[in-house]
Structure 1
Amino acid sequence: MEFRPFRVPLSTRFRGVTERSGVLIRGTAPDGTDAWGEYSPFPDYTPDRANRWWEAAMEAAHGLWPEPVRDSVPVNSIVPELPAGRAAQLAVANGCTTAKVKVAGTGGLKDDVRRVEAVARALGPEGRVRVDANGAWDVDTAVRSLIELHAAAKAGGGEGLEYVEQPCRTAAELAEVRRRTSVLVAADESVRIPGDADEVMRLGAADILILKAAPMGGVRACLDVVDRWDVPIVVSSAMESSVGLAAGLALALAVPDLPYACGLGTSALLARDTVAVPLVPESGTMRMRHMEVIA
């Protein structure tokens, strides 16, 4: 195997992160061709959590992804905490018709409302808007904020928020928000290891599960969760380079039912990538393709 350290800057600060770093691993697929994995856990990961990322990297470097059941997947655009005008531009980037808007940041609810409204207007009546609070709200704040954000998301003529991602920190809080609002609740940070999904579903804490291949231990580990629970799945990235992002795409291509756009367009936030041509959405969708690794 070959190991290549990499470090790539972000073009836009995202959740306090300004760069991504890790190791690319070249191995051999069963058909004898090169296969690449990415090991890039965040610095605050415990050894146990980092080990699952390693398992995902080894799965990829040995070419052990399952066969796809579709040729492409719909992808949402990513809108960080930015002024409304710039947010509207990012919302429709790469032909996406669904946008995920970061909220509950430093600007407060008024800024969030303006951002969501601008995104909704840019997408128009056929577009979809979802918001992600990254667990920053308490239950009461989440319920109050979702009333205003749901109304703002109707600005483009659509039906309001598609869903809210991780409004509060704990699964118990997610369950309470779900009982007190009509907006669908998606669990993201509450599903970081395979067993987490069992607890989330036992508590009735989510309408949707966000699955990320690397933190969960790989594509097949995620598919085990899909097999256990009859709940809609959204496949998302963990801010990897395009090499790691390919694992998320492999998962999305293999999930039997995929009713929502996936959060796999994050390579657009990188100032440079680990491949010659980054893995980005085209006309709002992504397909697997050969990538020339340059890191």
Structure 2
Amino acid sequence: MRITAVTTTPLAIPFERPFHWRSGVQRGANLVLFAVETDEGVTGFGESICEDPAAVEAYGRLIARSFVGRSPGDVEAILGDLWRDGRWRFHPRFSLQIVSGIEVACWDALGKGLGVPASTFLGGRVREDVDVMGFPQGDTAEELARESAALAAAGHRVIYVKIGRPGRADVEVVGAVRDAIGPDPLLRVDANEAWDVPAAVDAIRSLEAFTLDWVEQPVAADNVAGLARVRRSVDVKVAADQAVHTAPELRNVLEQEAADAIVVGSHEAGGLWRWRQLAHLAEVHGIPVNRHACVESEISTFAALQALSSIPNLTLGNQVMHQLLAEPLVTTPLAQDGGTVRVPEGPGLGFELDDDAVARARERHASQGPYLSVDR
């Protein structure tokens, strides 16, 4: 099996309701669907997150030249050539987000061609179900508390709340959520790099009374020493998220003992293969891994489940965000029971694309352009 072409489709998909986080409000997702076509008539699909699909499409077509003519299973060799011979390494984080969509599509095509799930190529499964977070949405403390209670009642063992939002009192929000869910569910909060080191220490200490499981990325991504200082100064676990995209970045976090957990996913790592390697590096250091979600569709969730099934050092409450979208891009339902999702057993990533939904999302992008990532 050889890759004959890599095609791109820009997509714009609205959210069911506005998504509030520390930088503002977002009302929809911008994605690029990558299709890896092969000489055996098998096509694999993956997606890249983005601010503007036009930039990802243009860059993606250049990167795709390293894939065409190769077997979709030659991922290690392709990535080696790509990073050695191109200038992609000068802009690693942007490049990794694009590579991830093509790389994921390769595993989908390979699995479909051989009739096996993609987890077969990632070390095989150590679990058949993955625990996922409950992600309450809303603007006010009352809205977030009400939805958190419903998610906990539905069986989610981890509730995940965005904090660090201007004009919102974190103590009020977190306190209301904890009161609503009771003492048993784990409560995680994500500040999305909202604070400097002293402010992070003060903010986390003010929230310790609410029995947090961890605080995710409280300081700037490139301030690993500061992250380590925060971790030493508080009684709550600290998770690194935006600080980790590459193996050298993860090594730096681990060597500085800056985090109790690593939150990372395929979009940051450049695909399922490198993500699986990052998880193993964390495992060697005795640190657990949690899946990071982005503004994405079910395509990313199906892909993530294949990798998550193979990671031994996995936490509860792995992140998913496809549920925020108003319309799915696949016809295959996820088998979810409360807070757990069954890993698909079908070939490749285990989903069937909804061509009609893709066409609507493509037309929406063509007519209105991309959604603003921050709509204040």
Which band: TM-score by shorter chain? Answer: 0.7 to 0.9
- d(CA) in 1 for partners of 2:326 and 2:139? 17
Partner of 1:156: none
Answer yes or no: is 1:18 the counterpart of 2:27.
Answer: yes
Partner of 1:4: 9
Question: In the TM superposition, what are the counterparts of 1:112-123 in structure 2 within 5 Å?
Answer: 112-123=170-181
Partner of 1:143: 201
Task: From 66, 69, 75, give the equivalent of 2:132.
Answer: 75
Partner of 2:316: 260
How far off its partner does 1:255 sit? 0.8
Partner of 1:157: none
How far off its partner does 1:184 sit? 0.5
Q: Which has the higher contact order (CA 8 A, sep 6+)?
A: 2
- d(CA) in 2 for partners of 1:199 and 1:132? 21
**Structure 1 residues 51-107: Cα deviation after superposition (integer angstroms, max 9, x where no partner):** 212322222212264233211111111235621222123324353121111111112
Partner of 2:97: 53
Q: How many residues are matched? A: 285
Partner of 2:361: none
Task: From 40, 54, 76, give the equivalent of 2:49.
Answer: 40
Aligned in 2, Cα 1:200/1:30: closer, same or farther, shift over 3 Å? Answer: farther
How far off its partner does 1:35 sit? 2.9
1:190 alignment partner, SS class = coil
Amino acid at match of 2:176: A
Partner of 1:161: 212
Aligned in 2, Cα 1:31/1:86: closer, same or farther, shift over 3 Å? Answer: farther
Contact kept? 2:241, 2:292, Cα under 8 Å: no
Q: For the pair shown, which has the larger CA radius of gyration, 1 or 2?
A: 2
More helix by share: 2
How far off its partner does 1:249 sit? 2.3
Contact kept? 2:49, 2:294, Cα under 8 Å: no
**Structure 1 residues 22-69: Cα deviation after superposition (integer angstroms, max 9, x where no partner):** 221233699986532002234599853232123222222122642332
- d(CA) in 1 for partners of 2:232 and 2:101? 38
- d(CA) in 2 for partners of 1:191 and 1:20? 23
Amino acid at match of 1:148: S
Runs of at least 5 residues in structure 2 that lack an aligned partner in the other structure: 1-5, 57-89, 111-117, 345-349, 359-376
Contact kept? 2:18, 2:27, Cα under 8 Å: yes
How far off its partner does 1:251 sit? 2.4
Aligned in 2, Cα 1:31/1:116: closer, same or farther, shift over 3 Å? Answer: farther
How far off its partner does 1:279 sit? 4.7
- d(CA) in 1 for partners of 2:20 and 2:304? 19
Contact kept? 2:130, 2:343, Cα under 8 Å: no
Answer yes or no: is 1:291 the counterpart of 2:365.
Answer: no
TM-score (norm 2): 0.69
- d(CA) in 2 for partners of 1:273 and 1:286? 17
Task: From 84, 105, 108, give the equivalent of 2:141.
Answer: 84
TM-score (norm 1): 0.86
Partner of 2:75: none
Answer yes or no: is 1:101 the counterpart of 2:161.
Answer: yes
Partner of 2:191: 133
Aligned in 2, Cα 1:248/1:9: closer, same or farther, shift over 3 Å? Answer: same
- d(CA) in 2 for partners of 1:30 and 1:143? 56
Runs of at least 5 residues in structure 1 that lack an aligned partner in the other structure: 154-159
Partner of 2:85: none
Across the aligned residues of Structure 1 and Structure 2, the Cα RMSD in angstroms comes to 2.6
How far off its partner does 1:192 sit? 2.2
